[in-house]
Amino acid sequence: MADTTITSTTSGLTSDRYSQFYSKVLLKHAIEQERLAELCSKYDLPSQVGSTTLRMFKRSEAAASTVETLTEGTPTTNFSNSTLTAIDIPLVQYSEKVKISDTRRKTDLINQLNLEVARMGEAAAYKVDSVIRDAIVLEVMYNGTTAITSSGFNTFCGSENVDAASEATLETAWDTFKELSAADAKIKVSDLKASVTQLRIKRVPTFAGGYYCAALMPQQIHDLQADSQWNAVNVYQNSGQKIYKGEIGMIAGVKVLDWTLGFKQLSSAGTFGTYAATGNVFTGFVFGQQAVGCMKLSGSASPMKPQFIYIDTPDKTDPVNQYNIAAWKGYFAAKVLDKKWVTAIHSKSTFS
């Protein structure tokens, strides 16, 4: 047998002898901070009521002027009574659906159905928050055409606190505010105090514990926390009072919640009340109890509540069952119940 000379060696650790290992643990993804649903008063629409519109009633306010002085022996001829104001919330139906390949469902390392259900659940929560936000913008800030509403209360931070007595007043304040620098137009504790004062003047009910609640954007909170009067949540979190989801502190009778789905506007161009994703004017809201009403979702027995649908059987459109469908549908709507019971706070930010 001929001699064999080995001229090279190899470890045998070639790439074709190894496969990639896939971890089933998913990395974290960005999640929006939706807060408004917790601050809404929630109402149910039961079955067999013949309507898809929620109707609430508000009784007229009491007044000392209805109390009269009597004269002994003289019958009174004056009578007073309550009036009821109807507030309607027409429900709107929403849905989302996805297709899942039967092959992928059977072979995937990670359960595709669980992924899609979790994603759609987050998307539904964001949609609910944005519907509530846009309802507030429509009623308090903007009337849907070109004019600023004359109801509600808008605080232009760093400029002036403006009770919305007239459209012209607001437009003048907005024009002044747009020209301010971020340092001059940032939010301050005094701006929250102005909102609280306005709510108290209007005798707006507080939430449990005697507080109002503010949903502010991170850029606004950045400037607010730099104020020497700020009280972070860790100072009082063991006091026994309710701590809201996302609550980061309180001041001047207001609990402040971190909220990333707020309303943004451009100060360089555009009309007041026009949303801009790249806007540098940030709008948060301060709420009194029952300022906003919405459809009850959690714990509801209503047929209008969200329903999950999963289809994994063949039909005429998919005779060999090549894909499954996961979907949800449900009704939702929100409405400002009293324009005077919520304030809008507009500010720029020093954060960059």
Structural domain includes residue 254? yes
Structural domain includes residue 234? yes
* Residue 74, token pair as written in the block: 């003289």
In terms of residues, how long is the chain?
352
Structural domain includes residue 153? yes
d(CA 263, CA 277): 9
Structural domain includes residue 203? yes
Domain that holds residue 157: 126-294+337-347
Structural domain includes residue 352? no
pLDDT tens readout for residues 80-94: 999 999 999 999 999
Q: Is the pLDDT of residue 105 over 80?
A: no
pLDDT of residue 20: 78
Structural domain includes residue 113? no
Classify 56 in phi/psi space as left (phi over 0), alpha (psi -120 to 50) or beta.
beta
Q: Is the pLDDT of residue 252 over 60?
A: yes
pLDDT band for 246, please (50, 70, 90 cuts): confident
* Residue 71, token pair as written in the block: 């004269």
pLDDT of residue 85: 92
Structural domain includes residue 116? no
pLDDT tens readout for residues 25-75: 889 999 999 999 999 999 888 888 888 898 888 999 999 999 999 999 999
Rounded to 10 degrees, the C-alpha dihedral 223/225/230/234 comes to: 160
Structural domain includes residue 212? yes
Q: Is the pLDDT of residue 144 over 50?
A: no
| pTM of the shown model | 0.86
pLDDT band for 220, please (50, 70, 90 cuts): very high
**Residue with tokens 């429509």, as numbered in its chain:** 138
Q: By C-alpha distance, which of 349, 350, 347, 285 is closest to 158?
A: 347
- Average pLDDT on 305-320 reads 91
- Report whether 293 contacts 54 (CB < 8 A): yes
pLDDT of residue 44: 87
Average pLDDT, the chain: 85
Q: How many domains does the chain have?
A: 1
pLDDT tens readout for residues 255-283: 999 999 999 999 887 677 788 999 999 99
- Report whether 45 contacts 52 (CB < 8 A): yes
Angle value at C-alpha 166, between 165 and 167, nearest 5 degrees: 140
